[in-house]
Amino acid sequence: MKSSRKKNIAEKWQNEGLAFDSLKKYDEAIKCYNRVLKIEPKPIEALFHKGRALHNLEKYEEAIGCYDRVIGIDPAHLDSWLWKGYALRGLERYEEAIGCFDKVIETAPQSDYLLYLWHSKGLILHILGRYDEATECFDKVLEIDPIHTEAWLWKGQNLHSLRKYEEAIECYHKAIDIDSEHIDAWSNKGLALNTLERYEEAIKCYDMVLEVDPEDANAWYGKGLAFHSSEQYEKAIRCYDTAVGINPEHPDAWYCRGLASHSLEEYEEAIKCYDMVIGIDPVHVSAWYGKGLALHNLEKYKKRR
C-alpha cells in the first residue's frame, strides 16, 4: 500500500513537471522532477525530462549528466543519446556529438529522428570543414525528403566550400524551386556566380534577395562586388553606400568602397573608407596597405596638378 502511495505521489510530481515544461517554466519543472527523484530509485522519465528542462535553460553540462544517468540505466534510450548529442553540439564538443548521433543512426536506422540526425551531423561536419562527409549527410536527408530546402542549401554550401561552384549552383536552384523567396539560396547563388565571373547573373540573384528584403546589407554588398568586378565602379559605390547605410559596421563594404574609389583615383574618399575599416578592425592589414597606397598616390596626384 505504501509503495502504491509513493508511486501515485511520484506520478503527480511527474505530471506537474510536464505541465511546467509545456508552459516553459523550466526551473519549476526541475523542482518537480527532483521530487520524483527522491521517491523513485530509477526514474528514467524524470531524469530525461529534467535533462530536457536543463537543456532548455542552456545548462548543457548538467543536462548531459541527466542523459548519462538515463543511459546508465537503459543504454538503448535513444532520446537520451539524441539530446546528449544536441547538448554536446551546444558546447561545441562536435566529435562527441557526432558519436551520439551515430549511435542513434546505428541502433534505429528507421527512427523518426533520422532526417534530423543526418541534418544535424551534416551541419557539424560543415563546421569542422569536412565538406565531403557533410555533403553525404545532406544527401541522406534528401533521400528521405527530396524537397527539404535547407538540405539543398547546405549541400550547396558544402560543394561551394569544395570549389564545386557549378554543382553548388544546381543545389541553390533546387532550394529556390521549392521556395522562390529563399534569401540565403539566392544570395549564395549570387556569390557562386560572382566567383565564376558571371556578374550579370549574380546581380539578378542579389536583386531577387532585395525584392524580398531591401534592407539586406550583404545583398547590397554582393551586388556591389559584381559591379566592381566588371569595372562599373560608380554603380558599385552606390551599392556599397547602401550597404553601410544599413550596417555602418560592415568592414567588407567599407573596404571595397575604398578600393572602388581608389580605382576612380578618388584617393581622399578611399582613405576615408579605409579609416572606417580600421576603426572597426584595427588589424585589417589590407585596409592599412590600401590607405598607405592611397596617401602615396594622393601626394603624386597633387604634384601632377
Tell me the three-class secondary structure of 201-229, residue by residue: HHHHHHHHHHHHCCCCHHHHHHHHHHHHH
CATH of 1-93, one of 3.40.50.300, 3.50.50.60, 3.40.50.1970, 1.25.40.10: 1.25.40.10
Highest mean pLDDT among 13-22, 25-34, 152-161: 152-161
pLDDT of residue 36: 87
- Residue 57 half-sphere exposure, CB side, CA atoms within 13 Å? 18
pLDDT of residue 3: 62
Q: How far apart are CA 228 and CA 28, in angstroms?
A: 57
Report percent pLDDT > 90 for the chain.
Answer: 83
- CB count within 10 Å of CB 299 equals 11
- Asked if residue 52 lies in contact with residue 35, where contact means CB atoms within 8 angstroms, the answer is no
Give the pLDDT confidence of 117-133 residue by residue, as tens digits.
Answer: 999 999 999 999 999 99
**Alpha carbon distances (Å) from 33 to 46, 89, 180, 276:** 5, 25, 46, 54
Q: Residue 304 above 70 pLDDT?
A: no
285: pLDDT confidence band, cut at 50, 70 and 90? very high
Cα Rg for the chain, rounded, in angstroms? 27
pLDDT of residue 2: 44
Q: How far apart are CA 260 and CA 296, in angstroms?
A: 17
Q: What is the pTM of this model?
A: 0.85
- CB count within 10 Å of CB 305 equals 4
pLDDT of residue 107: 87
pLDDT of residue 170: 98
pLDDT of residue 300: 66
- Asked if residue 88 lies in contact with residue 97, where contact means CB atoms within 8 angstroms, the answer is yes
Give the pLDDT confidence of 39-63 residue by residue, as tens digits.
Answer: 877 789 999 999 999 999 999 999 9
Q: How far apart are CA 270 and CA 262, in angstroms?
A: 5
C-alpha grid cell, residue 148: 527539404
CA angle 258, 262, 266 (to 5 degrees): 100
Q: Say which residues have a Cβ less than 8 Å from residue 70's Cβ, sequence separation at least 6.
A: 44, 47, 48, 51, 77, 80
Give me the count of residues in the chain: 305
Q: C-alpha 142: how far from its chain's center?
A: 19
Give the pLDDT confidence of 84-123 residue by residue, as tens digits.
Answer: 999 999 999 999 999 999 999 998 877 778 999 999 999 9
Better pLDDT: 288 or 39:
288
Q: Taking all residues of the chain, what is their mean pLDDT, rounded to a whole number?
A: 93
How is the chain split into domains, by residue range? 1-93
Average pLDDT value for residue range 203-221: 97
Average pLDDT value for residue range 281-295: 95
Give the pLDDT confidence of 134-145 residue by residue, as tens digits.
Answer: 999 999 999 999
H or E segment and range at residue 235: helix 233-246
C-alpha grid cell, residue 184: 540565403
